[in-house]
Amino acid sequence: MSDAFGLPSRILLLGGASEIGGAIVARILAEKSADVVLAGRHPDALPTGFHGARSVERVEFDACATDTHEAFFDRVFAGGDIDLVVLAFGILGDQAEAESDPAAAVLVATTNYVGAVSALTHAQQRLAKQGRGTVVVLSSVAGQKARRSNYIYGSSKAGLDAFTEGLQLAAEATGVNVIHVRPGFVKTQMTAHLKPAPFSTTADAVADAVVASLGKGNRSVWVPAILRPVMWLIRALPPRALRSL
């Protein structure tokens, strides 16, 4: 059970290899010991331990194999109540490849949106049955406005944003808090080949912002915070002005 400061005792990280997800877990464990369940396609390649963790369990989870999700969540929740679910899986894909290969575009959409919808729905059902818990959904500011350079990835995050906002409304009466996280460009191994965008951030900075929001009833986290007004302005720009930028 989460303590008075909102820090969890049992954490499920969907996307166990995620640098941002791992940073969130590490940041929590720096303040409180907890049991950690790491879920990923290749569980043997996931971290075997975290400093401060009481236990670390590594389990197989494939975001795209939605037919396996029900059994996965049944198994994980059978091991005890989950206080915090962090959805941190996702792929950038390659825009040029996805434009020429529909299968590549579908893979991005399936992983980032369809897989997330399935996982979040299963998680919400079980947390609601507990009558408590927190879900952290890692999205991206890329979902706020379509850009020529990454509209396939951005569209998958736009879908995730809309779903998460609806999930927050549905969860209001269940005792479950859904925190919607929208970071800007995060400097990780996944983005190392890309030129950092303005207002770039780090996995540790995202983790600090997320953990600071736990237990406070927060629904939306932007990292860095300046991105909230910046994206409001960008969304308000007419298409011609936006293209010129």
User: What CA–CA distance (Å, rounded) separates 94 from 150?
Assistant: 8
How does pLDDT run across 192-220, given as a tens digit for each residue? 787 777 778 899 999 999 999 998 888 99
Mind giving me the DSSP string for 182-242?
A: EE-SEESGGGTTSPPPTT-EEHHHHHHHHHHHTTTT--EEEESTTHHHHHHHHHHS-HHHH
181/176 Cα distance (integer angstroms)? 16
- Asked if the model's pLDDT at residue 142 lies above 90, the reply is no
Could you tell me the fold of the domain covering 10-244? Rossmann fold (3.40.50)
Rounded-to-integer distance, Cα 160 and Cα 47, Å: 27
Separation between Cα atoms, residue 28 and residue 34, nearest integer Å: 8
Partners of 183 in beta bridges: 223
Q: Is 153 a catalytic residue?
A: yes
- Predicted local confidence at residue 242, as pLDDT: 63
pLDDT of residue 152: 95
How far, CA to CA in Å, does 27 sit from each of 23, 51, 147?
Answer: 6, 10, 33
Residue 29: count of CB within 10 angstroms of its CB: 18
Q: Is 79 within 8 Å of 57 (Cβ atoms)?
A: yes
Which pLDDT belongs to residue 3? 59
**Mind listing the pLDDT tens digit for each residue in 33-80?**
999 999 999 999 999 989 999 999 999 999 999 999 999 999 999 999
C-alpha distances (whole Å) from 229 to each of 12, 55, 222, 235 are 32, 41, 10, 10
- Res. 2: pLDDT tops 70: no
Q: How far is CA 30 from CA 66, 139, 213, in A?
A: 33, 24, 16
Query: Which of 72, 113, 153, 185 does the annotation list as catalytic?
Result: 153
Confidence of residue 4 (pLDDT cuts 50, 70, 90): very low
> What is the Cα–Cα distance from 97 to 18, expressed in whole angstroms?
23
